[in-house]
Amino acid sequence: MLLLFSVLSSLFILIGVSLCINTASDTNITIKEKERSKLEFAAASGLNRAKSKIEKYYSDVLTKLKPDIVFEGTDQDDTDVAPAQKLFSDETFTSGTNVDYYSFDVENEDSDTIHIDYSIYLEDGSDWTDYSSYTSKKFRVEAIAYADNDAWVGMEEDVYVIRKSLCSYQIFFKDELEILPGPNFTLTGDIHTNSDMYLNAGNTLTIQADKVTSSGDIYRGRLDKDAVGGTVKISSGDKDGSLVTFDAGDDSTAEDWVDIASSNWQGTVKDSSLGQAEIEVPNLESFEPDGYYASEADLKIVVNVDSSGNTTYNITANGVSVSNASLGNALSETEFYDNREFKSNEKKSKITQVDIHALKDSGYYPDNGLIYMTRNDAVPGSDGDSSRVPNGFKIYNGDHDPADSSKYEPTILPAPTSFVSNLPVYVQGDFNLHTSTNPDTDSWQPCGIIADSVTVLSNKWQDSKNDSTSDGLRSAASTEFNFAMISGNVGTEPGKYSGGFENFPRMLESWSSKTLTMKGSFIQLYRSKYATGLWQYGKYYKAPTRNWSYEERFRNLNELPPKFIDMFPSSSNGVVRQNTKNISKNNSLIYEE
């Protein structure tokens, strides 16, 4: 019996010792797992900081086409950014070869210090990669976290900056979008509005696009009144898909709208109920006289008119103050009736003409392609305000002889060009034509116009004509214009149609039986402040045959107009992280250096 008790006692002791050993081992494992978890969390925070740095910088540079990444730290670095301006104030910074390093410390709940080093790496020759509707650049980001006891965790991932220009759309509207043409009309590019969309027609509206999207609702009908007309057809699935008729009632108001849209268009047509969110747009106060474009322009034109009506020009060309004579007298004054803004013979608009041929021959064409134009005698106001003065600018070639069309020479731009004004802008005559399908020999240049309003004037336009009873409605000639435009518009009010997208590029002539050809991108981001006259059909113009298409070369962000708006989304959709994984010391760029 005593022997049995002794054996059992020994057995219990052995079991107890074994349990103690296992408990200690489990405790050690738990401690190691906890320590590793803390280090992984710390390394992930380094990756988060790198991503935040890239994201913030690219969201801050909306007006730059190809910005360089700004690296930040508490020490003064090669970007000359002071510590107080930096995104993270607790870091140190070191520059390497194609890579920049950052370091910071954190303390955990046990008062242990964890050191985090992270890097942002751009390979030699890495550039923006073009895809069908966006451009991206890839960065390699690495972070390591280590403790004073030499415990170490390393992580890396790929970070892609995705840039999508507003010029990737044929039509982009911030406010409600109405497309209600009278004659047949075909659109060939993507369409988006951050508000509601209204589709209607006098005859047939055909939309061949990969995307027709609204962040609000999509209606088959009108905004100004309850009416449905014509035929609307939209391609299904993508721009090459079969055309499906958009029937009255089968819109966002239908109870089964989601099923109708999904079945008929298979993703081409989306509104907010189908998950379409607003697309972020830049703040364009920068096109005011004290804004970004005025300060960046290598040709800045300021027209000053004194109380006696005398006009002087303040011109800065490529950093030098010059006279109009030095520009080959490229600037001249004219006036004409804009019968949308004022009734016939009521008031003329005063306009400064910019002769592109004289300007390019002068040797003072802007080095960076940006031309900014403003004048001191324009006064904003709503339609009907007696104090409103919508004076502005006209871009033309200077070689048009209305009496002899054979002497007409189209405006040929010598280089990529952007025209920017806070005032109304008019474009007269064939402008920036395509002369070849081969980009190497094509005379077309990336061109953009940002203005309060944009009005196109045909090859037959004459400043002296008006729409009074004696002259009759001015008659147009078929004309072609090729540019991207960012412009204001006038909103529709109850019973007062704004003219819709089909009159977004404004007209002042009878275009009946004539063709208005336009290839570009049409962007509305604000309401007009100066050119606020209400649209009226037949009073000052009649509709053309519209041959309007999307400029496919704008899909390449390197072919956008100079200093033009390039949208860098500041949301997480604009900076995408992929392929996050743990790495060893042997594979660590930071550890190697």
The string of DSSP codes covering 205-238 is EEE--S-EEESS-EEES-SSSS---SEEEEESSS
- For the chain, the 3-state helix, strand and coil shares in percent, each to the nearest 5, are 20, 30, 50
What is the SS3 assignment for 280? coil
Domain membership of residue 5 (yes or no) is no
Residues 382 and 456 in one domain: yes
What spatial distance separates the first Cα and last Cα of the chain, rounded to whole Å?
72
Same domain, 492 and 379: yes
Burial (CB count <10 Å: 0-12, 13-18, 19+), residue 387:
exposed
What is the per-residue pLDDT for 541? Answer: 92
Specify whether 528 is located in the same domain as 491: yes
Q: Determine, yes or no, domain membership for 63.
A: yes
Query: Tokens at residue 531, please?
Result: 């050119």
Task: Locate all alpha helices (DSSP H) within 330-469, ordered by sequence.
Answer: 356-362
The answer to the question of residue 576 being in a domain is yes
Predicted confidence pLDDT, tens digits, the chain (593 residues): 444 334 444 444 444 444 444 444 444 446 578 788 889 999 999 999 988 887 776 655 543 333 344 444 555 454 455 544 557 778 888 777 778 888 999 887 666 889 999 988 876 555 666 665 566 778 889 999 998 888 899 999 998 877 778 888 999 999 999 999 999 999 999 999 999 999 999 999 999 999 999 999 999 999 999 999 999 999 999 999 999 999 999 999 999 999 999 999 999 999 999 999 888 776 666 788 988 889 889 999 999 999 999 999 999 999 999 999 999 999 999 999 999 998 767 789 999 999 999 999 999 999 999 999 999 999 999 988 889 999 999 999 855 455 555 556 788 899 999 999 999 999 999 999 999 988 889 999 999 999 999 999 999 998 988 876 666 788 999 999 999 999 999 999 888 999 999 999 999 999 999 999 999 999 999 999 999 999 999 888 999 999 999 999 998 777 889 887 554 444 445 678 889 999 988 888 787 65
Whether residue 527 is found in the same domain as residue 446: yes
Q: Cβ–Cβ contacts within 10 Å for residue 222, how many?
A: 18
Collect all residues with Cβ–Cβ distance below 8 Å to 183 and sequence separation of at least 6.
202, 203, 543, 545, 546
| Strand 212-214 versus strand 191-193 pairing type | parallel
Determine the structural domain holding residue 144 and report its residue range.
Answer: 33-164+572-592
Please give the pLDDT value at position 573.
54
**Torsion sign (Cα): 493, 495, 499, 502:** positive
Helix (H) or strand (E) holding 273: none
pLDDT at 176: 97
Which has the closest alpha carbon to 131: 158, 168, 171?
168
- Whether residue 514 is found in the same domain as residue 382: yes
How does DSSP classify residue 174? S
46 closest CA partner among 108, 117, 96, 109: 117
Together in a domain, 338 and 306: yes
The answer to whether the beta carbons of residues 163 and 184 sit under 8 Å apart is no
Is 318 in the same domain as 440?
Answer: yes
In a domain, 482, yes or no: yes
Give the whole-angstrom CA distance, residue 244 versus residue 208: 10
Calculate the dihedral angle through the C-alpha atoms of 270, 271, 273, 279, rounding to the nearest 10 degrees: 110
CA pair distance 562, 269, nearest whole angstrom? 32
- Nearest Cα to Cα of residue 158 among 126, 124, 121, 104: 121
Cα angle value 515/520/524 (rounded, 5°): 105
User: Can you spell out the DSSP letters for 528-571?
Assistant: -SS--PPP-TTTS-B--EEEEEE-GGGGSGGGSPTT-------S
Q: b vs e for 519-555, b when ≥16 Cβ sit within 10 Å of the residue's Cβ?
A: bbbbbbbbebbbbbbbbeeeebbbbbebebbbbebbb
Chain position carrying tokens 């019973």? 495
CB 179 within 8 A of CB 205: yes
Please report the pLDDT score of residue 302 as a whole number. Answer: 98
**Is 412 within the bounds of a domain?**
yes
For residue 515, list its beta bridge partners: 545
Look at the chain and report how many structural domains it folds into.
3
Same domain? For 376 and 254 the reply is: no
Instruction: Please list, in sequence order, all residues whose beta carbon lies within 8 angstroms of the beta carbon of residue 361, skipping any fewer than 6 positions away.
Output: 328
Type and span of the H or E element at 480: strand 479-481
Whether 55 and 574 have beta carbons less than 8 Å apart is answered as yes
Sheet holding 231-235, edge to edge: 185-187, 204-207, 231-235, 243-245
Among 274, 289, 314, identify where a domain stops.
Answer: 274
Structural domain contains residue 289: no
* Pair (465, 385) in one structural domain: yes
The answer to whether residue 198 sits within a structural domain is yes
The DSSP output letter for 277 is P
* Number of Cβ within a 10 Å radius of residue 330: 25
Give the span between the Cα atoms of 268 and 245, in whole angstroms.
13
Task: Assess whether 338 and 463 both reside in one domain.
Answer: yes
268/223 same-domain check: yes
Residue 458 lies in a domain: yes
Of 227, 259, 274, at which residue does a domain stop? 274
Q: How far apart, in Å, are the Cα atoms of 31 and each of 28, 36, 37, 571?
A: 5, 9, 10, 38
Q: Domain boundary at 274, 289, 323, which?
A: 274
Rounded Cα–Cα distance for residues 428 and 401 (Å): 12
Based on the fold, state whether residues 219 and 100 are members of the same structural domain. no
**Structure-block tokens of residue 22:** 């296992």
Instruction: Say if CB 383 and CB 404 are below 8 A apart.
Output: no
Q: Assign residue 499 a region (left: φ > 0; alpha: ψ between -120 and 50; beta: otherwise).
A: left
